[in-house]
Amino acid sequence: MALHPRFSENRWIYLYFTTRAKDKLINRVVRYSLNNDGLSQKKIIIDNIPGAANHNGGRISFGPEGYLYITTGDAGNASLAQDINSLAGKILRIKDDGSIPSDNPFNNAVYSYGHRNPQGLAWDRKGRLWATEHGRSGFLSGLDELNLIEKGKNYGWPIIQGNEKKKGMVTPVAQSGPDETWAPAGIAFWDNSLIFGGLRGESLYRAIITDKTKVSLKAYFRQKFGRIRAIILAPDGYLYFTTSNTDGRGITRPNDDKLIRINPKILN
């Protein structure tokens, strides 16, 4: 879900959701007008994004220039991530009405490609876009990523993983390694740091930006709250994040799931 930057004026709210069309799963982003606690004036902004039970993307957020960014998973078909004509395995960028910005790199909605399952978007104080991304899964889990996203760049999936390098492809700024799994989800920027939730990692992570493309990573609240998914830095200066323990993959705790509020200054 995302609110339009001028929500107080136009009351536009954007939702990314999965549905079934012609016996296959697809994703779409729909814009509504939110008034009197109800939704009206439905408008499909982008449609027919390949969907699946896993690797389904789904984070949407408006960037500093007012465009809407959308993360999409590879929908279980890794080869789609390298196809610039497919909407799967990408970070997309569109205008608030669904039209394509004139400076998009491939004359379509694709902004960056070679992604497996990006789950979080945040901009730092320099206006640079960062994204969290799930690495491989199953028996060989791990190699989750924190990426600095640039227009038109190829982030390598499924050709390179972890710290591997290949000409024309981008290696992540940070990755979890083969022996640890973050399963990173939502991400927020605070005090020259990127704060993101871990699902399988069951932690809140802080990646302190130490150089233009380097970070120092710390973990907090390990296993205290369970799986951590969405996170935002609110106007009141506090971080709000949600747990995701009742989704069938976590251990349910009393009164789950929760919305948790913390002062980010405790993350030292």
Active site residues: 55
**Count of CB atoms within 10 A of residue 197's CB?**
30
* Residue whose tokens read 């004026």: 9
* Residue whose tokens read 């799986």: 227
Taking the C-alpha atoms of residue 104 and residue 94, their distance in angstroms, rounded to an integer, is: 9
Contact 105, 152 (CB under 8 A): yes
Element of type H or E holding 98: none
Amino acid at 98: G
Contact 16, 25 (CB under 8 A): no
Q: Which two tokens stand for residue 224?
A: 């205290």
Taking the C-alpha atoms of residue 88 and residue 133, their distance in angstroms, rounded to an integer, is: 14
Taking the C-alpha atoms of residue 169 and residue 214, their distance in angstroms, rounded to an integer, is: 17
Taking the C-alpha atoms of residue 170 and residue 241, their distance in angstroms, rounded to an integer, is: 29
CA 72 to chain centre: 8
Q: Which two tokens stand for residue 168?
A: 């024309």
Q: Which two tokens stand for residue 171?
A: 């290696």
Contact 98, 92 (CB under 8 A): no
What's the number of CA atoms in the CB half-sphere (13 Å) around residue 224?
9
